[in-house]
Amino acid sequence: MDESRVRDEIVSGNISLGLELGSTRIKAVLVTDDFQTIASGDYLWENELDNGIWTYPIDKIWDGIQTSYATLALEVHDKYGCDLQKIGSIGVSAMMHGYMAFDKNDELLVPFRTWRNNITGQAAEALTNLFDFNIPERWSIAHLYQAILNNEGHVKNVDFMTTLAGYVTWKLSGQKVIGVGDASGMFPIDEKTVDFNKDMLSKFSALPEVQKYPWEIEDILPKVMSAGQKAGELTDAGAKLLDQSGELQGGSLIAPPEGDAGTGMVSTNSVKKRTGNISAGTSAFSMVVLDRPMKAVHRDIDMVTTPDGAPVAMVHTNNSSSDINAWVGLFGEFAKALGLQLKPDDLYGTLFAESVKGDQDAGGLVNFAYLSGENITRMPEGRPLFVRKPDSKLTLANFIKEQIYSAFAPLKIGMDILLREEHIKTSVLVAQGGIFKTPVVAQQVLADALNTPISVMENAGEGGPWGMAVLALYCVNHKDGEALEDYLENRVFKDSTKATLYPEPASVQGYDKFIDNYKAALPVEEQAVKSMKMK
């Protein structure tokens, strides 16, 4: 689409805005109805540890959204010579899970408890046994039940609970709604009704410790909606909240808010049965759309859904590339001390390229990239830890290789359950995330780690907010009865290209040896958690 036509589309409002609140960045993208990104803006942030709770303050949520939007609007003005006044559709996505609870005056009762907190083990275990359905510690219902078990005073005042994406959508539209994919990280979903499982809701309500509260669980959860449904409209107050300049008009169609897992599936065209995708960033998760029920309940496998309600097996790890970023930053400081000013892409590219020269097992080096607790390996807290034996081969190539290896290690351990115990089949997994911006290296490591072909699409580093914009466009222009998978296949990705790498047998064996060393060293990490206390 040429520049003059893009300008006409902006002026007419025939565009879609996707917002995604990720763990390290809030990003806004503006997309035309042919799915091309025409402007973007972002805001970097980090979660904060507040009295032992990982959180993001409410003011930073809105500072980030408003800054991202303002940057995007400025790009529109500078590039196309017009102001952003009308937007056809808007969609909000964010980190899944966590706990945001509000009273009847719409006041947040306790600081936002994010997915990163491993503080609900007692509740998660009890609910898993009650439902005969895996309830991870990250899920909203686990946070609520743990607060009940802890006799926290705020629980009696809960009037509404939601996710981060649900919260932002509520403030923009006035509607207390949630997309089914995001909802599936709050409470189990019934595939037949595409709604919260009523039998499990009843079991929860019947618990004696729950019955003493004045609310009913059904009444404090948001309304579940499927992809393609209209979740509301941008109110005038919502427009002013989003756009501090006052230029943006209300009336935009609002899509059902989704989690980052859902937008990852959309942006990789992975909503069909037997397709799958992997997203890697601060955390990592794999999603495989199932064509049959699981044989057993697994504590390391989450059962969630696609944005249109199909069952998905999810392996979620709390840690992935953050430790790589920390070490690369250290190398950057060293380069600067030598008088070298290296751009981040050059620094990552050089180090990743060096890793290819390393031994297949990374020379016996082991790294635990645990900035926070890790559910897959049962670590309650994080202690980033590099371990080697005296006879390990400490070279730069091996050091960087084991950093990349360790970014995928918990995911590998979880995926082995799906691939080896449940025998879930998928012909290829599509990967996305910043770690794949450097071509080939991390993609090949992941293929070797999982012994599965890995594809990367053109939008590998920017999938989430774009995927949310696509979901918003689906609300506007899909045909009656047109399934999301058909919309993606026949319209969005009809001309897409992707590169696929296949496992290399020697590297598969090398990664397996690394994982054996990794598992053997887990008691060292466990002892570090016990001995090195957080302030």
Residue 155 lies in a domain: yes
Q: Report which of residues 434 and 145 the model is more confident about.
A: 145
Whether residues 226 and 350 fall in one domain = no
Element (H, E) at 102: strand 100-102
Whether residues 250 and 295 fall in one domain = no
Mean pLDDT of 79-100: 96
Among 260, 282, 304, where does a domain finish?
260
Instruction: Please report the pLDDT score of residue 89 as a whole number.
Output: 98
Instruction: Please report the pLDDT score of residue 108 as a whole number.
Output: 98
Q: Following CA atoms 474, 480, 482, 488 in sequence, which dihedral angle do they give, to the nearest 10 degrees?
A: -20
> What phi-psi label fits residue 396: left (phi over 0), alpha (psi between -120 and 50 degrees) or beta?
alpha
Q: Following CA atoms 68, 69, 70, 71 in sequence, which dihedral angle do they give, to the nearest 10 degrees?
A: 50
> Which residue reads 């293929």 in tokens?
447
Whether residues 400 and 513 fall in one domain = yes
Pairing type for strands 89-94 and 15-21 reads: parallel
Residues 6+ apart with CB under 8 A from 58: 108, 112
Q: What angle do CA 179, 181, 186 make, to 5 degrees?
A: 90
Instruction: Please report the pLDDT score of residue 462 as a whole number.
Output: 53
What is the average pLDDT score of the chain? 94
The pLDDT-based confidence of 495 (bands split at 50, 70, 90) is confident
Environment class of residue 494 by beta-carbon count within 10 Å: exposed (0-12), middle (13-18) or buried (19+)?
A: exposed
Environment class of residue 428 by beta-carbon count within 10 Å: exposed (0-12), middle (13-18) or buried (19+)?
A: middle
**Helical axes 344-355 vs 396-416, angle rounded to 10°:** 80
Per-residue exposure over 3-16, b if at least 16 CB sit within 10 Å of its own CB, e if not: eeebbebbeebbbb
Residue 474 lies in a domain: no
Whether residues 289 and 191 fall in one domain = no
Q: How far apart are CA 498 and CA 495, in angstroms?
A: 10
Q: How far apart are CA 17 and CA 92, in angstroms?
A: 9
Q: How far apart are CA 76 and CA 8, in angstroms?
A: 12
Whether residues 252 and 335 fall in one domain = no
DSSP notation for 311-344:
EEEEEEES-SSHHHHHHHHHHHHHHHHTT----H
Q: What is the CATH number of the domain that holds 19?
A: 3.30.420.40
Whether residues 109 and 13 fall in one domain = yes
Whether residues 25 and 166 fall in one domain = yes
Q: How far apart are CA 184 and CA 196, in angstroms?
A: 8
Mean pLDDT of 182-190: 97
Residue 319, pLDDT above cutoff 50: yes
Among 242, 260, 278, where does a domain finish?
260
Whether residues 379 and 451 fall in one domain = yes
Residue 340, pLDDT above cutoff 50: yes
Mean pLDDT of 328-340: 96
Residue 475 lies in a domain: no
Q: How far apart are CA 131 and CA 505, in angstroms?
A: 41
378 - beta bridge partners?
none
Q: Look up the domain containing 178 and give its range.
A: 3-260
Residue 82 lies in a domain: yes
Whether residues 511 and 411 fall in one domain = yes
Mean pLDDT of 49-72: 95
Question: CA 78, 82, 85, 88 torsion: positive or negative?
Answer: negative
**Range among 154-168, 336-350, 480-494 rated most confident:** 154-168
- One-letter-per-residue 3-state SS of 346-382: HHHHHHHHHHCCCCCCHHHCEEECCCCCECCCCECCC
Residues 168, 257 contacting (CB under 8 angstroms): yes
The pLDDT-based confidence of 459 (bands split at 50, 70, 90) is low
Residue 499 lies in a domain: no
pTM of the model: 0.85
Element (H, E) at 285: strand 284-289
Whether residues 277 and 192 fall in one domain = no
pLDDT in tens, 234-262: 999 999 999 999 999 999 999 999 999 89
Per-residue exposure over 495-534, b if at least 16 CB sit within 10 Å of its own CB, e if not: eeebeebebeeebbebbeebbebbeebbeebbebbeeeee
Residue 498 lies in a domain: no
Residue 183, pLDDT above cutoff 90: yes
Residue 460, pLDDT above cutoff 70: no
Residues 6+ apart with CB under 8 A from 519: 413
Residue 508 lies in a domain: yes
pLDDT in tens, 124-154: 999 999 999 999 999 999 999 999 999 999 9
CA nearest neighbour of 61 among 216, 242, 234: 242
Alpha-carbon distances of 227 from 126, 197, 219, 399, 473, rounded to whole Å: 32, 18, 22, 44, 10
**Range among 337-341, 428-432, 491-495 rated most confident:** 337-341
Tokens of 534: 């957080």
CA nearest neighbour of 123 among 145, 103, 151: 145
Whether residues 321 and 241 fall in one domain = no
Instruction: Please report the pLDDT score of residue 24 as a whole number.
Output: 86
Instruction: Please report the pLDDT score of residue 245 as a whole number.
Output: 95
As for how many domains the chain has, the answer is 2
Mean pLDDT of 33-58: 93
Number of Cβ within 10 Å of residue 109's Cβ equals 20
Q: How far apart are CA 18 and CA 472, in angstroms?
A: 8
Say which range, 243-257, 262-276, 397-411, 452-466, has the weakest mean pLDDT: 452-466
Q: What percent of the chain has pLDDT over 70?
A: 99
DSSP notation for 370-430:
-SS-BTTTTBSS---EEE--TTS---HHHHHHHHHHHHHHHHHHHHHIIIIIS----S-EE
Mean pLDDT of 268-283: 88
Whether residues 176 and 106 fall in one domain = yes
Among 243, 260, 277, where does a domain finish?
260
Q: How far apart are CA 188 and CA 302, in angstroms?
A: 10
Q: How far apart are CA 520 and CA 85, in angstroms?
A: 58
Mean pLDDT of 256-270: 92
The pLDDT-based confidence of 461 (bands split at 50, 70, 90) is very low
Residues 416, 376 contacting (CB under 8 angstroms): no
Mean pLDDT of 106-126: 94
Residues 280, 408 contacting (CB under 8 angstroms): yes
pLDDT in tens, 205-227: 999 999 999 999 999 999 999 99
Residue 482 lies in a domain: no
